[in-house]
Structure 1
């Protein structure tokens, strides 16, 4: 099981401090570009960045729309002057959610396209496959689209930063909400057979204790049949099922249970709780019925809410994204694109890879979440807390409960949403 432990956080403190000392001791760190050396991906009028994401394959239906939404935001930003007069060019490469393909396309982005940074590479198994490569080449690896705690290891991966609330946080928040609101219910968990599942279990046990889960089942994305796992959970008398699943397997689990005539309460990580995507898998006829009451987590403006961020993103979606379906993925993609633009603005008029890293870990970025960002010299995690959401009559919005995980414990906290400023254009 992945160790999201005090030891890791202590090591992060030591390692990040060492990194800062090294940066301070060099006017130009290796591979960042000296005064007379071109910075990869930076020209007088453009900043070129890239990502890997599943435009095809088993995860495409759940996640392909994220990069399209990010691209739409960048087009909006470019039409409004860009960042320090530079337009952002976002190169999106399909990896099919296949780690081997991820290695190929990321090498293309770094060696052939010479991107300034990799931004929002998607997936735990896929991004893990390129983590060492990006570190060795000192490429800023920003805002990974996965909740794995691997991205929060400043001492080992000084150029990598997460974006999602990590899976330990999500697992703990969902389990704590179950304990608070349904104290007598039998709680179980279905998780992916990698760090995603491991860390969801770790978080749930943080809230419920080592024996708090009545049953734990695992699945592999290579086998789209979870009948055995769902049957075992039904036999165990599970009443609340926490899901550490990507969208396709969330739908598969709920649909399989329905076929068995079993209708427990479902709690899902944000990675597998996008309502519109799930309806697409389950069908318009039965999907809304099966998803009524689905509990999830989120840390960004809710697509079903009425925040100023959502209003702006809807306008951008209509104008720059061909009026694509507006959902949680849209908000996610535009939110991460905004955060990159904010970091780039803070990196200065003539950014280097070093100044970009310094901007992210400065602690000065605001983002647009419901809680403050956690980036710092000793932390490469974005959000250490989440709000609880629910689906009600097709609308997915916050319930009001918010939890944070720090120091090995989970606690209820008050949300503190970041207000929209400057029409969503950093520096304006």
Structure 2
């Protein structure tokens, strides 16, 4: 089973580009918004220009390339309903092929050539880590990083960076606690990406199970699409529960390889590699139905098939995203869009980069998850709790358990699903 690779490109949807009208005209436009001496990058009288780096091609494309399209669709919906404080949102999407060297190139283009107001939802731990210093040194708001690394939550070192996903400590500890609660006494093993993703997730599992609670830890490289040795090692070790800190393509690869080897443990996965509709695309419906029954993951967003947020996002997807396949990436991408609009509303009628950061640190931006976003001046982490999901009969949904990590303690809590108000466009209070 392999992931398809295609040539690297850099692109943005046609609707996201801002026409170049010359430096003088651009400065006049910005001055109209912020004053002659206070031009705000990316802000004109009638637009807000932001950007992102995404894996539109490369090893992570099949699992994540649809996210930015969903975010763009949500922004188109907001724009069709008047925008934010009378401005239209322009979202420049650039392909980095999940390659840190490419990420550095395209992010520098976004900041130095496209003059974006903020970078929103840059995807990937190794990729975004390569631009973290650059964005903060240039005082560019770096919002809703699409990765559960704990590196994004360092307000003192990186004051302009904010996470979004529940971090991998939270996700790993939640799955570890769920395993302890529901699969007591069974041997637990972990397969992780050979970087901060895998290591941080493992630490989270060990918070719940103890350092000796993991029988074996195997790693994979995204450049090597063969995990036979790792699966064989876990099979030989007698692993009964296997937890995956994998991207979706490698989740499918691991589960499919194990099935071919006659190895059928209980599978649990981080949210980044746990979207059932995406896994079906990799495995096929018949295989997925056989090997993913009971597949367990975590989530913090309102993706329940019969939920009101899914109903709204489906309508937006149909109208503004060409009725593209609807999955967890759709909910994630539109949830990011919702959070950005919330932040932009709270930043004021004449937003600055500083007022955007202040809006997030104020705690006014709560998102649309099963718990509120946890931002404050001391906390830039994003969601701090996750619910447990399970696949049953081809349907993935929450099964009732929600866990929050507080220090070194994993606590079961009641979810606080944020309600859908009005038309799903946040308004300033």
Listed as ranges, the matches of 1:61-76 within 5 Å are 61-76=62-77
SS in 2 for 1:285: helix
Listed as ranges, the matches of 1:75-224 within 5 Å are 75-224=76-225
TM-superposed CA distance for 1:33, in Å, is: 6.8
Q: Which has the higher contact order (CA 8 A, sep 6+)?
A: 1
- Please give the alpha-carbon distance, in whole angstroms, between the structure 2 residues aligned to 1:83 and 1:421: 17
Listed as ranges, the matches of 1:376-391 within 5 Å are 376-391=376-391
TM-superposed CA distance for 1:288, in Å, is: 2.2
- Please give the alpha-carbon distance, in whole angstroms, between the structure 1 residues aligned to 2:366 and 2:246: 29
Shifted more, 45-54 versus 404-413: the winner is 404-413
SS in 2 for 1:242: strand
TM-superposed CA distance for 1:365, in Å, is: 1.3
* Per-residue Cα deviation, 1:396-423 (whole angstroms, up to 9, x for no partner): 1000000000122111111010001131
Across the aligned residues of Structure 1 and Structure 2, the Cα RMSD in angstroms comes to 1.2
Listed as ranges, the matches of 1:254-293 within 5 Å are 254-293=255-294
* Per-residue Cα deviation, 1:53-76 (whole angstroms, up to 9, x for no partner): 000001001000100000000000
- The aligned counterpart of 2:420 is 420
- The aligned counterpart of 1:242 is 243
- Please give the alpha-carbon distance, in whole angstroms, between the structure 2 residues aligned to 1:94 and 1:418: 32
TM-score, normalised with respect to structure 2: 0.91
SS in 2 for 1:158: coil
* Per-residue Cα deviation, 1:280-330 (whole angstroms, up to 9, x for no partner): 11123312221111100000002x432211111010011111001111000
Q: Where has structure 1 moved over 6 Å in runs of 4 or more?
A: 32-35
SS in 1 for 2:243: strand
- The aligned counterpart of 2:402 is 402
Give ranges in structure 1 of 5+ residues lacking alignment.
1-31
- Please give the alpha-carbon distance, in whole angstroms, between the structure 1 residues aligned to 2:174 and 2:122: 25
- Please give the alpha-carbon distance, in whole angstroms, between the structure 2 residues aligned to 1:159 and 1:288: 43
- Please give the alpha-carbon distance, in whole angstroms, between the structure 1 residues aligned to 2:105 and 2:323: 32
- The aligned counterpart of 2:56 is 55
* Per-residue Cα deviation, 1:153-203 (whole angstroms, up to 9, x for no partner): 001000000000000100000010000001021111000110000101100
- The aligned counterpart of 2:369 is 369
- Please give the alpha-carbon distance, in whole angstroms, between the structure 2 residues aligned to 1:313 and 1:281: 24
Give ranges in structure 2 of 5+ residues lacking alignment.
1-32
- The aligned counterpart of 1:349 is 349
- Please give the alpha-carbon distance, in whole angstroms, between the structure 2 residues aligned to 1:285 and 1:189: 26
Shifted more, 408-417 versus 344-353: the winner is 408-417
- The aligned counterpart of 1:226 is 227
The answer to whether the 8 Å contact 2:366/2:374 transfers is: no
Matched, 1:334 2:329: no
Label 1:196 to 1:33 Cα distance change in 2 as closer, same or farther (>3 A). Answer: farther
- Please give the alpha-carbon distance, in whole angstroms, between the structure 2 residues aligned to 1:337 and 1:159: 18
TM-superposed CA distance for 1:37, in Å, is: 2.1
TM-superposed CA distance for 1:366, in Å, is: 2.0
SS in 1 for 2:355: helix
* Matched residue count: 396
Matched, 1:315 2:322: no
* Per-residue Cα deviation, 1:367-400 (whole angstroms, up to 9, x for no partner): 1010121100100011111000001111110000
* Per-residue Cα deviation, 1:310-363 (whole angstroms, up to 9, x for no partner): 111010011111001111000000000010000000000000000000001111
- Please give the alpha-carbon distance, in whole angstroms, between the structure 2 residues aligned to 1:305 and 1:203: 29
